[in-house]
């Protein structure tokens, strides 16, 4: 048996079990060992039966005094009962519908049971469905009781108990001699046990281990495995960075007084401190010989566009071309108008290229890009993916999409282009996730907002008070403003939700706002239809936009001042913050009304309160990560995030920080042929499911 042995070849794992294990990503022996228990239970201390109190979780050992199957009054319901006796007394154990217990609980057999002691109506105590194990004679290696026991998550028909037995079997059979790839200096410094000790101790903890430490996942055995996983990931990132550092741009921009003057000429306002620092970071990158790989984070409205435009001026003044990519066509058009206005005086040739550009326009743009005459083009990400040829592409700006940054950079590389790349995102990403999802990017953050913003007023109300919200919307409409009403679509029941959203839109149109124009926008509409609706809303022809979350990366409509979010309890905090950012873009005071379904629960309440009380997207993002975990944080599984087996980005963020530091040290200290590097390369493709390190 090796770590690569498929689980399906293990004794006791038939096709059905193998399929269920596969579904949760467990294919090989290595996968099985890398998956941590959910938690640990101390079943090591045997209790005297006479001393048991109701409500305690206890381990007892004794002899089966009597046993048998009993029918109950409910048809089809069978009980198996056993009476266990030790030197101090007896206790009854009951298993519901587990007829095979008759072959385990044999009269006269010594057994160990673990479970919760409950009072019986007739007096005395009972264990219902306890964990059980035959007690051996002398020194026996207990699996399910009589020790600190790992508890695994059920995988389909594979119970936690079965997994425990499998892991135990595997550990007994596997030659535990995997060669060590962690450098010795590192293991010594961190006092990490070797891999074999770590794996064994993670699943079947040593006798004197502390259950509390284990349940905090900070036992040395566990830390070794988590650290190892994170380190391999961070070393991979480092190797990738190194490869990128070896890249050279065909033209390295320079900055002189003429260019500074050109930049000043496009500036319509004084930059905030955050913007100034971001511009400095970006320009410092641009004048280096290696292509820039920078992420610019800043809350909605922080003013990222001007930072990108100043970078564009530097590129253009150095004779280079700029591609500015937006996630949707409408956003591209909006950017195009803004950019053309700001760059108007500079006399640059600025173009727009989207799927709906007329064929003749398209031909002109393509020709001018190929000849180098056009200096800046705005479009969707199809810009760099399709057959668009640039004469001298020097800077690519990717706006508002943390989800695709990594992939698009890969596309650029494949095309043999080495432009500077600036990825901009309005989704504040907590530091740990940034280290992971964007670990190979340099990061600039704009934390301040331009002066003179009126904060959006946020309130949370139970949906029973929806009428109030609608009255408020009406007041705003009467004052000439526009409103958005957002409905969540939850994937599993998208159809039902969509029906609910449609019904709500009809109801609003006919009964609540009959004198205003209203439209429903949802993800199933054709792109042109969505586009048409968004345009009409932006033009003020639609007063109330009812939508699913598709407006999340929507457009700026400065006249929209109210955002009503239905079922706010279903949205992630970061997502709600994004949604809220869609209003408050003009001079009028703006409002966000969160309607929630009761009961909200303690955590739900804490989440909405966080949103009502803070306007800082980063604080909200950290909170969201704490409350919901990284998977939910990004909504869907996103490219660029590794598949982690042992570590947890939230629980183990301190270990990720360590791994980051030690990865940097290892890249400096270890020779090129280091086993660590080889393992990191292998892991990146085999284990994390990411593109190769390169």
Nearest distance from C-beta of residue 406 to ligand ADP, angstroms: 21
Going by DSSP bridges, is the β-strand pair 131-134/110-119 parallel, antiparallel, or unpaired? antiparallel
Nearest distance from C-beta of residue 468 to ligand ADP, angstroms: 30
Of 264 and 363, nearer to ligand ADP (C-beta) is 264
Of 298 and 572, nearer to ligand ADP (C-beta) is 298
Of 123 and 452, nearer to ligand ADP (C-beta) is 452
Of 428 and 430, nearer to ligand ADP (C-beta) is 428
- Give the span between the Cα atoms of 249 and 286, in whole angstroms: 10
Of 304 and 403, nearer to ligand ADP (C-beta) is 304
- Give the span between the Cα atoms of 429 and 625, in whole angstroms: 9
> Which residue has the CB atom at the shortest distance from ligand ADP?
303
Question: Residue for token digits 């743009």?
Answer: 365
Of 450 and 635, nearer to ligand ADP (C-beta) is 450
Nearest distance from C-beta of residue 297 to ligand ADP, angstroms: 10
Nearest distance from C-beta of residue 533 to ligand ADP, angstroms: 22
Of 164 and 304, nearer to ligand ADP (C-beta) is 304
* Paired strand residues for 96: 79
**CA 298, 303, 308, 314 torsion: positive or negative?**
negative
Question: Residue for token digits 């990738």?
Answer: 240
* Helical segments of 453-561, H only: 466-478, 494-507, 527-538
Is 93 strand, coil or helix?
A: strand
How is residue 97 annotated by DSSP? S
Of 585 and 660, nearer to ligand ADP (C-beta) is 585
Of 306 and 565, nearer to ligand ADP (C-beta) is 306
Structure tokens at 418: 């080495």
- Give the span between the Cα atoms of 632 and 639, in whole angstroms: 14
Among 236, 652, 252, smallest CA distance to 418 is for: 252
Of 327 and 630, nearer to ligand ADP (C-beta) is 327
Nearest distance from C-beta of residue 147 to ligand ADP, angstroms: 56
Of 20 and 448, nearer to ligand ADP (C-beta) is 448
Nearest distance from C-beta of residue 530 to ligand ADP, angstroms: 21
* Paired strand residues for 91: 84
How is residue 510 annotated by DSSP? I
Instruction: Please check whether residue 134 is in contact with residue 62, taking contact to mean a CB–CB distance below 8 angstroms.
Output: no
Among 72, 71, 47, smallest CA distance to 58 is for: 47
Q: Please give the helix or strand (H or E) that residue 620 lies within, else none.
A: helix 617-628
Residues that bind ligand ADP (CB under 6 A): 269-272, 275, 298, 300-306, 426, 450
Size of the chain in residues:
694
Nearest distance from C-beta of residue 54 to ligand ADP, angstroms: 59
Report the C-alpha dihedral over residues 363, 369, 374, 378, rounded to 10 degrees.
80
- Give the span between the Cα atoms of 566 and 507, in whole angstroms: 14
Nearest distance from C-beta of residue 302 to ligand ADP, angstroms: 4
Nearest distance from C-beta of residue 469 to ligand ADP, angstroms: 26
- Triad 7, 170, 212: Cα angle to 5°: 110
Question: Beta-strand (E) ranges in 27-180?
Answer: 39-42, 57-71, 78-85, 90-96, 110-119, 125-128, 131-134, 148-151
Structure tokens at 475: 């007041």
Nearest distance from C-beta of residue 443 to ligand ADP, angstroms: 15
Nearest distance from C-beta of residue 561 to ligand ADP, angstroms: 16
Report the C-alpha dihedral over residues 509, 512, 517, 521, rounded to 10 degrees.
-50
């Amino acid at each position: 048996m090796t770590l690569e042995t498929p689980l399906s070849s293990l004794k006791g794992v038939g096709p059905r079990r193998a399929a269920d294990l596969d579904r949760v990503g467990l294919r090989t022996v290595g996968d099985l060992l890398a998956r941590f228990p959910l938690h640990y239970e101390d079943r090591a201390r045997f209790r005297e039966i006479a001393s048991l109190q109701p409500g305690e979780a206890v381990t007892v050992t004794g002899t089966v005094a009597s046993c048998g199957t009993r029918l109950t009054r409910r048809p089809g319901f069978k009980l198996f009962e056993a009476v266990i006796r030790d030197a101090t007394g007896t206790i009854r154990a009951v298993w519901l519908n587990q007829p095979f217990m008759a072959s385990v609980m044999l009269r006269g057999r010594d057994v160990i049971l673990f479970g919760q002691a409950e009072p019986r109506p007739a007096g005395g105590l009972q264990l219902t469905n306890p964990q059980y194990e035959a007690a051996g004679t002398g020194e026996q290696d207990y699996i399910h009781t009589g020790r600190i026991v790992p508890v695994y998550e059920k995988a389909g028909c594979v119970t936690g108990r079965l997994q425990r037995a499998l892991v135990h079997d595997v550990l007994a059979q596997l030659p535990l001699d995997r060669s060590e790839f962690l450098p010795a200096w590192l293991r010594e410094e961190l006092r990490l046990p070797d891999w074999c000790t770590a794996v064994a101790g993670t699943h079947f903890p040593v006798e004197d281990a502390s259950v509390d430490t284990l349940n905090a996942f900070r036992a040395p055995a566990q830390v070794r495995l988590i650290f190892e996983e994170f380190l391999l990931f961070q070393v991979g990132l480092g190797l990738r960075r190194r490869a990128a550092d070896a890249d050279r741009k065909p033209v390295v921009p320079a900055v002189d007084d003429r260019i500074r003057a050109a930049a000043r000429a496009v500036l319509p306002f004084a930059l905030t401190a955050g913007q100034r620092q971001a511009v400095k970071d970006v320009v410092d990158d641009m004048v280096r010989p290696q292509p820039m790989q920078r992420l610019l984070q800043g809350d909605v409205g922080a003013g990222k566009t001007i930072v990108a435009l100043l970078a564009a001026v530097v590129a253009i003044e150095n004779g280079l071309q700029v591609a500015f990519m937006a996630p949707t066509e409408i956003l591209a058009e909006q950017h195009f108008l803004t950019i053309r206005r700001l760059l108007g005086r500079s006399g640059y040739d600025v173009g727009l290229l989207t799927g709906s550009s007329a064929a003749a326009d398209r031909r002109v743009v393509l020709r001018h890009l190929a000849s180098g005459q056009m200096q800046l083009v705005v479009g969707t990400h199809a810009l760099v993916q399709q057959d668009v040829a640039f004469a001298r592409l020097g800077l690519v700006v990717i706006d508002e999409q943390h989800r695709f940054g990594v992939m698009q950079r890969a596309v650029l590389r494949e095309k043999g282009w080495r432009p500077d790349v600036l990825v901009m995102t309005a989704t504040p990403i907590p530091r740990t996730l940034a280290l992971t999802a964007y670990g190979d990017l340099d990061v600039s953050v704009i934390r301040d907002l331009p002066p003179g913003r009126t904060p959006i007023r946020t309130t949370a109300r139970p949906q029973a008070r929806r009428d109030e919200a609608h009255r408020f919307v009406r007041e705003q409409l009467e004052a000439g403003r526009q409103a958005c009403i957002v409905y969540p679509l939850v994937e599993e029941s998208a159809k039902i939700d969509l029906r609910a959203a449609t019904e709500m839109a009809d109801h609003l149109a006919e009964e609540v706002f009959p004198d205003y124009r209203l439209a429903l926008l949802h993800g199933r509409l054709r792109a042109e239809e969505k586009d048409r609706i968004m345009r009409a809303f932006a033009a003020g022809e639609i007063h109330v936009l009812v939508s699913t979350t598709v407006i999340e990366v929507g457009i700026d409509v400065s006249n929209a001042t109210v955002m009503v979010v239905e079922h706010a309890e279903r949205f992630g905090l970061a997502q709600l913050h994004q949604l809220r950012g869609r209003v408050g873009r003009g001079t009028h005071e703006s409002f966000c009304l969160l309607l929630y379904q009761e009961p909200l629960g303690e955590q739900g309440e804490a989440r909405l309160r966080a949103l009502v009380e803070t306007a800082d997207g980063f604080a909200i993002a950290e909170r969201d990560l704490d409350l919901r975990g990284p998977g939910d944080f990004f909504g869907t599984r996103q490219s660029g995030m590794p598949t982690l087996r042992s570590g947890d980005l939230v629980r183990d963020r301190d270990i990720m920080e360590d791994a980051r530091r030690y990865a940097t040290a290892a890249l400096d200290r270890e020779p090129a042929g280091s086993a660590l590097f080889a393992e990191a390369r292998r892991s990146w493709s085999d284990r994390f499911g990411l593109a190769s390190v390169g």
